[in-house]
Amino acid sequence: MELLGGVLVLKNLPTILLVVFGVLLFGYLLGRITIKGVSLGDAGVFVVALVCGALLFTMTEAGELVFALSPKAFDFSNTLTLVEQLGLILFVTSVGFIAGPKFFGNFKRNFTSYVLLGVIIILAGGLSAVGCIYMGDGIGYGSSIETREGFVAMIVGLLSGSLTSTPAFSAAKATVDPSLQGLVSVGHGIAYIFGVIGVVLFVQLIPKLTKADMDKERQLLVIKEDESKAKKVISKLFEIDHMGIAAFSCAAIIGALIGAIKIPLSSEGLSGTCFSLTTTGGCLLTSLVMGHFSRIGKVNIMPSQSTLKLFRELGLVLFLAGAGIPGGAEFVENFDGMYFVYGVIMTIVPLFIGFLFAKYVLKLSLLNNLGSITGGMTSTPALGTLIGTAGTEDVAAAHAATYPIALIAVVLVSQFLIILFK
């Protein structure tokens, strides 16, 4: 740090770490405030990060995130992206390991339900986006957009933000005309905020509104297994380190490599629109498999539960802080009330359609339903909240089963909307 003309100039790594830890401190304090049994929980970190980004930072025309009081300050974009990605890897890989031992049994029992629900949620989001496009045709595209093509780019960005889907965001930017990529980014930033908070509140409110017996719901969710036998097997295995950090690192490395594999979706090959699991999907898939088998020969590849729970919580709040600070800066720069309403619609409609479809058509138990909803909405923060609300990590299995289906569907739907309304 240094003082320049009486203004504190933020320009180094230690400073951004202070900002991040400050966000965590006040975010946790905010998350503890409970009103009629409902609280923001870990999402309080996201809210504080947004406020911090809105008040203390600004986005330059070059896309740099700088301290608002000093345009010459250090660009924090890359540093916060690192914080966000590290948090995402820690959280998703932990979730995969925790869900792995019960995932495949649960997936086998409810395979059709998970596939259908993932597709239904994303289709509902896509149809909501179509409705918003026609609504814009009738009432106007907004003060900053003059063409329908530009408005469609904005709507697709809003869709990816409302579903908190980075892959859909990337695919949309790659599909639109280069001159419209900025509108996709703005839409994503505007809708992302309610996309996170809306689903977080939903998974807390539904059990309360339905007056669910959580002990009974946990029993319906749990797949019985002989845990004592599993512990005896693990105790006889060779461990690289007693906390399992080496095994965790192995899953993260393999997952990142799998996530980097790109599958072309157009005739342009790898230079055109491509699908990939991304680091999130790759790490989730790898840790699910490693968690399921738990060993290779006589080598234990399952981290300890204490390590996984710590990494899961730390990863989630780092992800929220890393995404929230730049999100807050972009939100202030580009906010438009009508676009925010469109984003709310594209979050609410898939949530309720997915929930009602899972409850009355697929007959899923409440926690399987909500776990699948967080996966179908591709919402990492909501899963963290649901685990706390449900009082069990078993809900992660439903999330992990629905997530890949939703991931593929939302990428395809985003691209289809752009092509359809060209």
Of residues 13 and 148, more confidence is placed in 148
- Which ranges in 210-304 belong to alpha helices (H)? 214-221, 227-235, 245-259, 278-293
CA 254 from chain centre, in angstroms, equals 20
CB 98 within 8 A of CB 312: yes
Give me the pLDDT at residue 153, please.
85
Tell me what the mean pLDDT of segment 333-346 comes to: 84
The domain segmentation of the chain, as residue ranges, is 95-311+335-420
Within 8 A by CB and 6+ apart from 39, the residues are: 31, 32, 33, 204
> Is 201's pLDDT higher than 70?
yes
Q: Which of 83-92, 146-155, 259-268 has the lowest mean pLDDT?
A: 259-268
Query: Coil, strand or helix: which one is 176?
Result: coil
What is the Cα–Cα distance from 402 to 53, expressed in whole angstroms?
A: 32
Tell me what the mean pLDDT of segment 138-149 comes to: 74
Number of H helices, E strands in the chain: 16, 10
Q: Count CB-CB contacts under 10 A for residue 161.
A: 30
| Greatest mean pLDDT range, 52-66, 112-126, 400-414 | 112-126
Instruction: List Cα–Cα distances, 290 to 8, 97, 229, 392, in angstroms.
Output: 47, 7, 18, 20
Give me the pLDDT at residue 121, please.
93
Give me the pLDDT at residue 171, please.
64
Q: How confident is the model at residue 248 (pLDDT cuts 50, 70, 90)?
A: very high
Give me the pLDDT at residue 246, please.
95
> Is 69's pLDDT higher than 70?
no
Task: Return the closest-CA partner of residue 333 out of 182, 158, 112.
Answer: 182
Structure tokens given for 78: 């890359």
Pairing of strands 274-275, 263-264: antiparallel
Q: How confident is the model at residue 397 (pLDDT cuts 50, 70, 90)?
A: confident
Tell me what the mean pLDDT of segment 317-326 comes to: 83
- Which ranges in 141-244 belong to alpha helices (H)? 148-162, 166-175, 181-209, 214-221, 227-235
Q: What is the pLDDT of residues 351-387, one digit of tens each?
A: 999 999 999 998 888 998 999 999 899 887 788 888 8
Q: How confident is the model at residue 302 (pLDDT cuts 50, 70, 90)?
A: very high
What is the number of alpha carbons within 13 Å of residue 306 lying toward its C-beta?
Answer: 2
Q: How confident is the model at residue 33 (pLDDT cuts 50, 70, 90)?
A: confident
> Is 234's pLDDT higher than 90?
no
Percent of the chain with pLDDT over 70: 82
What is the Cα–Cα distance from 380 to 297, expressed in whole angstroms?
A: 33
> Is 10's pLDDT higher than 60?
no
What is the Cα–Cα distance from 331 to 12, expressed in whole angstroms?
A: 24
Q: For all residues of the chain together, what is the average pLDDT? A: 81
> Is 117's pLDDT higher than 50?
yes
Tell me what the mean pLDDT of segment 129-138 comes to: 89
Q: Which of 178-187, 256-265, 407-416 has the lowest mean pLDDT?
A: 178-187
Within 8 A by CB and 6+ apart from 297, the residues are: none
> Is 3's pLDDT higher than 60?
no
CB 318 within 8 A of CB 83: yes
Under DSSP, the state recorded for 224 is: P
pTM reported for the whole predicted model? 0.71
Query: Coil, strand or helix: which one is 296?
Result: strand
Within 8 A by CB and 6+ apart from 144, the residues are: 336
> Is 223's pLDDT higher than 70?
no
Of residues 266 and 390, more confidence is placed in 390
Q: What is the pLDDT of residues 158-194, one digit of tens each?
A: 998 898 876 677 667 766 777 777 677 778 778 888 8
Rg of the chain (C-alpha set): 21
> Is 330's pLDDT higher than 50?
yes
